[in-house]
Structure 1
Amino acid sequence: MKRENWQSKIPSFLLQPIIIWPLVISLLLLIIIAGMSLMGNLQLGIITIIIVIVVIGLLGFVSFQMLHALNTYILSLGNQIKSVQSEILLKMPIGIIVFDENATTIEWVNPFLQKYFYQKEIIGLDISDLDEELNDLYQEFQDDKTLKSKRFEWKNAYFEVTYLREEHAMYFIDSTKYGIIAENADASRIVIAHIVIDNYDETVSSMNDRRKSTIDNSMTSDLSKWAKNYDSYVKRLDDDHFLLVSTYGQLTLMEENKFAIVDNIREKTSKANAPLTISMGIAYQEKEDVIDVDDISDQAQSNLDLALSRGGDQVVIRTKNQKARYYGGKTNPMEKRTHVRSRQIANTIAAMIKNTSSVFVMGHDYPDMDAIGASVGIRRIAEMNNQMCYIIIDESRINDDAERLLAELRKDEVIAASLITPEQAATLMESDSLLFLVDVHKPSITIAPDLITSNRPVIIIDHHRKGEEIPDNVMLEYIEPYASSTSELITEFFEYQNQDGEPIKRIEATAMLAGIIVDTRNFSLRTGSRTFDAASYLKSVGADSYMIQNLLKEDLSDYVKRNQLIENVELVSGNLGIAHGADDEVYDSVTAAQAADTLLSMRNVDASFVVYLREDGRVGISARSLGTINVQRAMEELGGGGHLSNAATQIADVTVSEAVDMLKSVIIEKNEEDE
């Protein structure tokens, strides 16, 4: 028992063999030396034994004192550490929450964290009842077992939060100082914007020098004041071009204000009988990216091009890795294309057709009259340049009116031979084959997206406002959102083609005129002087108006279905009509579009939306407006696009009722943005 008590006083690390054996051996050696001395000389041996005993005694005494001092030191150090730990837990800027074994109820919180709850007694509460943001963070740790720590902004402070699963505890390390530094660095990211006056040349061309100078000074003054309000720098580079340099923090404030400068300039210049609008393309340095001013400026210019191709009078903000954000775009685009531009495009297309091995053309999925008419027009232009052109059609995905038009086209043997399926096109196309996309520029909604490859040259001719999705290998892009239809754009090309060959056929002119009539709703929407010029030209070469009337006739059953859709109309925000079919009843897109047009003709309806189930199982939405409401923005939010007054989308994996709820949410959100 005494031995056990004696051993218990010695720390275990001193009883290790590596320490004990050298001591035992040393003691044995001393005994051997004493014994040898005793054998050689008795007197010397006795003295040696006495010395050895004294040395052993002294060593034992010193060892005992060292052990005692060591134990005292360790005990003192332990108490000191406990004191420091207690001090840290209570006074250091580290927050601690300890949960019970079920990891839901709070068992303890240290004073540092307690102050963030304004002296509220929180012990015994469930974290879900304590703080919503804190509960979200806690649930994130619970859901992601690999997550150990996360930066957390809470209560106007920044924390590095660590979750200890086995201990059921969360540690909050105050990093507000560094969070503020990071926040300031984020807000200081460089922003570059290119600003243009959309219709400057057309507006000031008829003004005298004095009035022009007044307009210039007014525009410069308005933009300078606006920029100064946001601590930004603006410089006029040309008559219609400005450069803006700002920071990301100021950009967020501009976005909160919805870029009111765009509306202010439009309204002010309109009252002064000099209707000018501006467009902006804005880009900024992304987080953790190295500053490259050239890249940011190029991206801003690309964004400006996108804004202009969408009709101008708007702001486009986008970086390489983020989706574009749009502001403005509330007015119909003003016509800016010229006959010079049309001639340049026509001549370029002719040259490209002559230098390719084969030509193919296709429109959007479920093509309408405009897509088919435009395809027929491209086929004729290719033939005028001595090149065969194939029209890609998927007849399993086509509407009734387009099917009737195709039946008429097949009566011509040459045209019939050019109509091929996507499967046939994949076999016939070569790597250098020229592919035209007409009435569409988004690859995902074309008839055959797989045919659009990165190494195949693509030409786009479209009249819809340009979106972010665009093919990679676009050789030529002619997107004019102020045109009534793609058929109108292509009709203008005929004037600049070789006229020595066979003239435009009657059925070709009819198909293109049908496209114009359908997209303009019998020349009542988006119709300009050049629309009538194109229609007049097509009539002069034999377009058959009687055939178009027959092609556009609807069945009695379709008329009944259209009225069924309109019966289920609901007014949202007072002047937005939403009609929808049943979740299990299929409608075709033509019937839905006609229902939207009919609904728009009703009193107190400024915009109409028809939600319906399509044959392919997706839910379609057809949207129309009188021009005062931008339905395109709502459709873009739901994955579609179109024009300010005419747009549509298709949504997969939802019911009609769910799509209606999604549409209402988007409409409410857009209304709040415009307020």
Structure 2
Amino acid sequence: MRKIFAAIFAIIFAILAAYVFQILLQSNSENQYLYLVFAILALLLSGTMIFSFFSAQMREKIKRLNHRIELWSRVSYHVNQVGDELFNQLPIAMIALDDNNDIRFANTFAKEKISQRMVNKPLSEVSEFLFEQVKNKVTEFRYTHNDLIFEVHFKPEFNFIYMFLATELVLLENQYQNHLPVMLLMSLDYIDESLASLPVSEQSTLKGQYLGTIADWANQYEAYLQQLSDDRIIAFTTREKLNDMMQHQFKILDEVRKISEKHDVRVTLSMGVASWDTPYESLGIYAQNAIELAEKRGGDQAVINIQNQKIAYFGATKESVSSNSRVNARIQAQSMKQLFETCDSVYIMGHKRADLDALGAILGVYQMAKAVQHKSFIIAPNDELDPTALKVFKALIQSNEDPRATLESIQISNKSVLVIVDTQSKQLLVDASLIDKVEHIVIIDHHRASDDAVTSDTSYIEPYASSTVELVMDVWSFYETLIAIEFDPLYATIMYGGMVVDTNQFTLRTGPRTFEVAGKLKELGADISKVHGWLKKDFNKTKHIFDLIANAQVVENHFIILKDETTYVDRVLLAQAAEAALEIEHIDAVFAVGYVREGVVGVSARSTGQINVQIFMEFFGGGGHLTSAAVQKEADIEDMMDAIKQKILLEYGGQDQPMKVILLEDVKGRGKKDDVIEVAGGYGQFLLTQKKGIPANEENLKALHDQQEKAFEAQQKHIELMKTLK
């Protein structure tokens, strides 16, 4: 208010001074000097009041600023105190790096927990892992040092690392994960038909032996077990116990098989296992899908479906048991005929780079479809046939109409039927986009299903079969009773050739039905001499195969790895080389490796049946059979060969010399950090050389025990500290 009055008076005096000046200018009286003095005084008074007004404002502003500075000084003191607390007392490790990733600053907590002498050292000397993450600019990750676990946040723009102690949180997470539910569905394959010929008392005894063995195994893992029927069992346990089962490779599969071998019956065990953080209704669906996949793959195995993990397979170490049942073939024949009659077109497709088995199966199905639906076509472009199949197909269309539809001319609709043969994998199909364009899909295949298998209306999948041609002929034997089929002798010859290729001249994966089908094809006009002519190898290829064998690498005395250094090698030649090397005495498995195109390595694996090469190839993303499998993978050829060697050591290295090892980190399928495990000697050496484990000798076991006790004490102290802070 005072400021307002001062401003008003200053204005009044200024007006008064202006008025006096005006009188002076208009007057010549003797009092003009008096008026002048009065005007000057008014101006001076007005100026003084204006100056005082602004001075007062400035003083007040300065006073406010001084007051604010005083407040900031007090706050700054407290902020410094909090900063000191953050940098040196709270459980947060802070590390500052320079442009060369050398450590220039580390707070007290970082020094206490990681290294007292870390400052002015390269980060790589303190922790190679931290250095790699910083070098790759990974902004968030977990870091384990001794028994401490940190959540790390890296700020590349400041080259600064924040590490929050998360040991207790991770332990709680692990505890929660370890107690997640696991559902196991088990099926005793072929138990009814296998025991049907035995006396009732012996059947009961044998069933009791199977169930008792399974119950004893389940008790080891604290599982709840319930029998649903003679051949179906359900069990529940926890994720922690499931990890133990996986570490022990589901040995129950071997135990059940040993009982069957002892009593000369064909019973095996299939398991579908699911562990998800989900309601039990969904968990049951996952477990059911898993056991169906196990059965589609031939049984005698466990399929494990764990949330956020790739599906794992255990077992299947022996060739699949033949069901000797043709009921499925008869049902398949009836279903296919009905589908062909009601659809508006049929398309038959195999896998990429189709071999003679795929081509023969395609042609066999084509003849069945053509007998009912005249709009039947084959999808087999020239560039998707291997050299032998392409040569054979060119010979076929010289005397027959080309039954193919080009990818551009396909007029597929939701009323079309798509038949897929010799594969179930979406990745291997000639054109996977067709799957989504049809309502009805039929699959005929003799390979074990993978986790990317195509879903079909009807399927005939028998991994025990020698070839897909054998399965097609099983269906054909019933199909011809429903409708007359004209069988072209050249088609029969090609199908016979497919069986010859897949059985390696009828020496692998053959059964009684294999020879029955071969005999039937011979009756239908198959020309065996023509097949041998197609499969003859030229001189240069034969010489090349023997050169590969001459330079073979022998691993663990029973494995051979062949390396083809040709720029791009034909997959058929790799397969032929592997089969040729398999004839060497004492060799159980062969892996032929070579580039099939730029940056892509192909591996063709063959075995005598003692080694499951399908598991090997599935590990690398491929698939196949116990005795015949393959994979194509973007990789360097040397890296691929090293990976195969490591897998051999992991599974079969030094089997006669077991070794105990303390794990230095989690190893999938084997154990967790600080676990003491017993492994094959070769694999044990692999863990030591890779610094993933140390020998479980007396000294290391004592050090582990002391370390665990210290960690427990430190954890208890930390918990007490956190309680105090709260």
Superposition TM-score tier, normalisation by shorter sequence: 0.7 to 0.9
Using the TM superposition, give the Cα deviation of residue 169 of structure 1 relative to its aligned residue in structure 2, in angstroms.
4.1
Count of paired positions = 607
Give the one of 188, 191, 195 matched to 1:197.
188
3-state SS in 2 of match to 1:243: strand
1:318 is the counterpart of 2:305 = yes
Contact 2:413 2:437 in 1 (8 A): no
1:447-467 per-position Cα deviation (integer Å, ceiling 9, x unaligned): 333443344532111111111
The residue type paired with residue 97 of structure 1 is: I
Identity %: 29
> For residue 188 of structure 1, what is the aligned residue in structure 2?
179
Task: Kindly report structure 1 stretches of 4+ aligned residues shifted beyond 6 Å.
Answer: 26-31, 64-77
Contact 1:583 1:655 in 2 (8 A): no
1:105 is the counterpart of 2:74 = no
The residue type paired with residue 377 of structure 2 is: Y
3-state SS in 1 of match to 2:531: helix
3-state SS in 2 of match to 1:434: strand
Contact 1:459 1:475 in 2 (8 A): yes
Range 83-92 or range 326-335, more displaced? 83-92
Structure 2 distance, partners of 1:603, 1:23, is 115
Structure 1 distance, partners of 2:114, 2:636, is 45
1:181-207 per-position Cα deviation (integer Å, ceiling 9, x unaligned): 222222222221211122322332223
Contact 1:561 1:591 in 2 (8 A): no
1:327-374 per-position Cα deviation (integer Å, ceiling 9, x unaligned): 222111001251111101111111111111111212222222211111
The residue type paired with residue 269 of structure 2 is: I
Structure 1 residues 366 and 159 mapped into 2: Cα distance closer, same or farther (>3 Å)? closer
> For residue 117 of structure 2, what is the aligned residue in structure 1?
121
Using the TM superposition, give the Cα deviation of residue 129 of structure 1 relative to its aligned residue in structure 2, in angstroms.
0.7
> For residue 588 of structure 1, what is the aligned residue in structure 2?
570
> For residue 556 of structure 1, what is the aligned residue in structure 2?
539
Structure 1 residues 380 and 111 mapped into 2: Cα distance closer, same or farther (>3 Å)? same
Structure 2 distance, partners of 1:403, 1:135, is 53
3-state SS in 1 of match to 2:526: coil
3-state SS in 2 of match to 1:402: helix
Structure 2 distance, partners of 1:455, 1:494, is 24
Give the one of 379, 392, 406 matched to 1:405.
392
1:396 is the counterpart of 2:383 = yes
Using the TM superposition, give the Cα deviation of residue 558 of structure 1 relative to its aligned residue in structure 2, in angstroms.
2.7
- 1:495-534 superposed matches below 5 A: 495-498=477-480, 501-534=484-517
The residue type paired with residue 199 of structure 1 is: Y
Contact 1:151 1:159 in 2 (8 A): yes
Contact 2:604 2:629 in 1 (8 A): yes
Structure 1 residues 250 and 566 mapped into 2: Cα distance closer, same or farther (>3 Å)? same
Structure 1 residues 501 and 296 mapped into 2: Cα distance closer, same or farther (>3 Å)? same
Where does structure 1 lack aligned partners over 5 or more consecutive residues?
1-21, 32-63
- 1:404-423 superposed matches below 5 A: 404-413=391-400, 416-423=401-408
The residue type paired with residue 323 of structure 1 is: K
Structure 1 residues 510 and 124 mapped into 2: Cα distance closer, same or farther (>3 Å)? same
- 1:310-459 superposed matches below 5 A: 310-319=297-306, 322-413=309-400, 416-424=401-409, 426=410, 428-459=411-442
> For residue 561 of structure 2, what is the aligned residue in structure 1?
578
Structure 1 residues 69 and 352 mapped into 2: Cα distance closer, same or farther (>3 Å)? closer
Using the TM superposition, give the Cα deviation of residue 231 of structure 1 relative to its aligned residue in structure 2, in angstroms.
2.8
Contact 1:384 1:497 in 2 (8 A): no
1:215 is the counterpart of 2:206 = yes
Range 164-173 or range 252-261, more displaced? 164-173
Structure 1 residues 266 and 167 mapped into 2: Cα distance closer, same or farther (>3 Å)? same
Structure 1 residues 408 and 163 mapped into 2: Cα distance closer, same or farther (>3 Å)? closer
Structure 1 distance, partners of 2:67, 2:525, is 115
> For residue 642 of structure 1, what is the aligned residue in structure 2?
624
1:564-598 per-position Cα deviation (integer Å, ceiling 9, x unaligned): 332221112221111122242x4433333222111
> For residue 90 of structure 2, what is the aligned residue in structure 1?
92
The residue type paired with residue 640 of structure 1 is: G
3-state SS in 2 of match to 1:419: coil
Using the TM superposition, give the Cα deviation of residue 151 of structure 1 relative to its aligned residue in structure 2, in angstroms.
5.4
Contact 2:130 2:143 in 1 (8 A): no
> For residue 675 of structure 2, what is the aligned residue in structure 1?
none
1:274-296 per-position Cα deviation (integer Å, ceiling 9, x unaligned): 5542121111215xxxx221112
> For residue 254 of structure 2, what is the aligned residue in structure 1?
263
- 1:472-491 superposed matches below 5 A: 474-491=456-473
3-state SS in 1 of match to 2:382: coil
Structure 2 distance, partners of 1:65, 1:582, is 86
> For residue 177 of structure 1, what is the aligned residue in structure 2?
168
Structure 1 distance, partners of 2:403, 2:66, is 104
> For residue 302 of structure 1, what is the aligned residue in structure 2?
289
Structure 2 distance, partners of 1:111, 1:76, is 26
